[in-house]
A = this chain, B = another copy of it.
Amino acid sequence: MLITLTTDFGTHDHFVGVMKGVILGLAPRVTIVDITHEIAPFQINEAAFTIAEAYRWFPKKTIHLVVVDPGVGTTRRPILVEAQGHRFIGPDNGVFSFLYDSGPHKVRAIKNSALALKKVSRTFHGRDVFAPAAAHLAKGVTPTRFGKLVDDAIRSASLKPAETKKPSGIKARRWTGTILHVDRFGNLITNFHMKDFAELRTRPFEILAGNQIVRRLALTYAEAGLGEVVAIEGSSGYLEISADQVSAAHKLGCRAGSPVELEIFY
């Protein structure tokens, strides 16, 4: 049985190791795979994007543990999500928003304290609640034993761009979106999905990100001139903002969570 880990814990501290110790103490035969521990601290949308991009490449029945949890210690619920033949465990704060849009799914509020560590701290539910839940699920405890189905799981409002007031005087539409993820090369992955914004391929547009206006859609990173900032259709289907050979994140002063404005002209 496979368990994947996606957190904002980084790899400097002992936190990730401790979660693995708890899992392997309860379920010694599990194989654990790190997706990443470098989600920007508390960036729920970045975690949501990352697990949505990653999970489908694992075999069915894999358990995906996502611990980006600014509400740890409050009343936010731990949840177990079944979707697309995979299982997901994490806080009910929007980290699984993409899955809710991907098709039929079940969400359970985890309530069974017999499936957590005996002593639950207020600050480290990754260790005390989520890791043991994943281990018990891996060992065959059925989802129904974790808790009841709920239908009010939290969806992240900002995963889809919001249309904003039309500018007066010119024929255009305008949306406000956000940066879902900054990749290793500093490319900014926005929440504008090309299947919803196919007009970018044919109409003039302006994207405002950080201190820069972008007007060109390139087909490949290489198409951009040296230092030029362009939009491209990324491998995940989302519009990316990219600067040739340099980090667009640095050049534009953007990071995960930064706003992006799009205007399409008619």
Contacts and interface: CB of A to CB of B under 8 A. Distances in A.
B21 A33 contact: yes
Given A9-B184, A59-B28, A18 B235 contact: no
Given A13-B184, A38-B12, A183-B12, A54 B123 contact: no
Tier of interface size on chain A: 35 or more
Contacts of A41: 184-185
Interface in A4-37: 4, 6, 9-14, 16-18, 20-22, 24-25, 28, 31-37
Contacts of A20: 33
A33 B15 CA distance: 12
Interface string A32-71: 1111111001000000001101100111001000000000
B184 A22 contact: no
Interface of A: 2, 4, 6, 9-14, 16-18, 20-22, 24-25, 28, 31-38, 41, 50-51, 53-54, 57-59, 62, 121, 123-124, 127, 181-185, 235
